[in-house]
Chains A and B, each alone.
Chain A
């Protein structure tokens, strides 16, 4: 507890709160549950106090003060809903609506628009303006983002994002006053690895993603907290789904990982993740590969592992969850673990200049660190490591594109655990359908060693189930473990077996993620 000299008492709408000096009224108000309306203010950007939406009355002050920049003083008494404050807000809304087209029915932001919300709150039925509305039209600012000039309220969040966070001030307010609009240099489109964050920060529907235009209404989307699988950064995201399809990904704030931002590539990767032709049923090889029910599939896998096929080697995907990789390792250990390998696709790294903790990492997989913790080795050519293996061969969620001819032919038993049935995978003896990250609960370990949870957003296709479920049921049949009832239970077992995860549980990881043991000591030493 801080001592009295380092905190100040503020009264906001009758609620007393102690805050450290330098806190803004807006932040202090949030501590007592009062969320002030705002347009120009965004927690990840500087506050220019230009929208005048968050004006509050402070006792003793000669006029209303912008709460987003006004810092608290000891014994300050603030009224956020006094007649004056409400009147000022009403006036701001009235001005903003002078030229706004009110085209909410065809606006992408409808349902998630702060102009809609606050205009609704002021409840003004009529405008007092009789002049015709000014028309500014629309234009692309990047090849994928359209700017609707008429909807824009000139809060300049996008301008400040490009200036302060992207540090490429390519967007500016052109003209001034009621003629003002946002533009690049006339006619130019700009490109930036993090450009789509300007759509997220836009409080209205002025900047919209062409990819998402007319795809779904905001209120029709189900949201699930998740982790971006695009690279080893592990940005916290929210998956918007409709009709069991991912429609979009938006960043979820996490100051330790991605702040309020995420890259464009991640968004595009996520939307297409797990779409297309999926492996939906377990299959066994008889004369040919035939679909079977889960009982027969798991019995076959159990029998195969009991039959002492020889030591197990495997190829895993570093896109698999910690739980899946742990279960794979356990299954392989039944036959004797003789080496597991994974490939890491590499591409150009893009660091976000204004928040360098965040980058589109060159390792374009989410869980390479996790795979290493379970004893898998990164390899430039994982197929070569196992191609001529004669014991048990496991492949987890690797599409086997580019696997050599006759891959797995020499193996005593070839088990394919995957989401897609590629021609190479068709040579497997046992095929087990698994789920993508979006279809299950689980965790990834990002490049910092931060274990982060993701929630299921979609129903898995057909009979596909998470590997922790089918794998642990197999382990129970083999008498080397018990079938887990949840991903959390699987993680608890994993944390018991691997020191790096010692002490971590789904509950303790929470929404922000937790560092593995070695990363914790590293951070402690650095701090």
Chain B
């Protein structure tokens, strides 16, 4: 995160898949505490701030742990179960720690027809992981996601905040090398 103070309007709307994620980083400290306070000023009640607050936690840690859920519940006067229902409903919140690069492969209908399954398989083989796992070198996590909104360029793959179009099994190795 840059040192420049964020405007409260975007305090909870920063990229939330970051290569610099730290799965155990302290929550709500320093600049993040300031951003949390800023987010609250943008909503009529605390509950309404839940999505941006969770997004900020994921931005920092790369995933939403049960510790995060309990902290957020406490800060927003909600039950942990309620926060869990939110984080589990929205699939963009990750329930496990992720590698430096979170590789999200679209397997919705368009990409699926153009061989997304093969791309996933190739990626998993190349990184030596199963879906959702972190590769041994800590670099990659591969998951399947729903439509990324670029159906004209199947197969679509999103790595952290960056979208790669027309990925083929042949280009997978190059993609991974580029990241490294």
Spell out A's residues near B (CB within 8 Å). Answer: 168-176, 183-186, 188
Give every chain B residue within 8 A of A186 (Cβ-Cβ): 66, 84
Alpha-carbon separation in the docked complex, A17 to B66 (Å): 54
Query: Which of B69, B80, B82, B85 has its CB near the most chain A CB atoms (within 10 A)?
Result: B85
In this assembly, does B22 line the interface, its C-beta being within 8 Å of a C-beta of chain A?
no
Which 9 pairs of residues, A with B, have the shortest CB-CB distance? A172-B85, A185-B80, A172-B81, A174-B88, A185-B81, A175-B88, A176-B89, A184-B81, A169-B79
Q: Given A185-B70, A186-B66, A171–B81 Cβ distance below 8 Å?
A: yes
Contact present for B79 and A170 (CB under 8 Å) = yes
A/B interface sample: 26 pairs, CB < 8 A: A168-B79, A169-B79, A169-B81, A171-B81, A172-B81, A172-B82, A172-B84, A172-B85, A173-B89, A174-B84, A174-B88, A175-B88, A175-B89, A176-B88, A176-B89, A183-B81, A184-B81, A185-B66, A185-B70, A185-B79, A185-B80, A185-B81, A186-B66, A186-B84, A188-B80, A188-B81
Known A-B contacts: A176-B89, A185-B80, A186-B66. Give 5 more (CB < 8 A).
A172-B82, A172-B85, A174-B81, A183-B84, A185-B70
Closest to B83 in A: A185
Instruction: Give the A-B contact count at a CB cut-off of 8 A.
Output: 37
Residues of B within 8 A of A185 (CB): 66, 69-70, 79-81, 84
Closest to A174 in B: B88
User: What residues of B have a CB within 8 angstroms of the CB of A173 in the complex?
Assistant: 85, 89
**Contact flags B91-118 to A (C-beta < 8 A → 1, else 0):** 0000000000000000000000000000
Write out the residue numbers on chain B whose beta carbons fall within 8 Å of the beta carbon of A169. Answer: 78-79, 81-82
Cα–Cα distance between A184 and B78 once the two chains are bound (Å) = 13
A-side contacts of B89, CB under 8 Å: 173, 175-176
- For B70, the chain A residues whose CB sits under 8 A away are 185
Q: Are A170 and B88 in contact (CB under 8 A)?
A: no
A174 touches B79 (CB 8 A): no
**Contact residues, B59-77 vs A (CB, 8 A):** 66, 69-70
- Shortest Cβ distance from A149 into chain B, in angstroms? 14
What's the Cα separation between A368 and B170 when bound, in Å? Answer: 84
**A421 vs B98: C-alpha distance when bound (angstroms):** 69
Q: Which residues of A contact B85 (CB under 8 A)?
A: 172-174
Shortest CB-to-CB span from B123 to chain A, Å, is: 23
> Smallest CB–CB gap between A169 and chain B, Å?
5
Within the complex, what minimum Cβ distance (angstroms) separates B144 from chain A? 14
CA distance A183 to B83 in the complex (A): 12
Chain A contacts for B66, CB-based, 8 A: 185-186
Chain A residue contacts of B88, Cβ below 8 A: 174-176
Residues of B close to A170: CB separation below 8 A: 79, 81
Complexed CA–CA distance, A172 and B83 (Å): 9
Q: How far is the CA of A172 from the CA of B81 in the complex (A)?
A: 6
Shortest Cβ distance from A177 into chain B, in angstroms?
Answer: 9
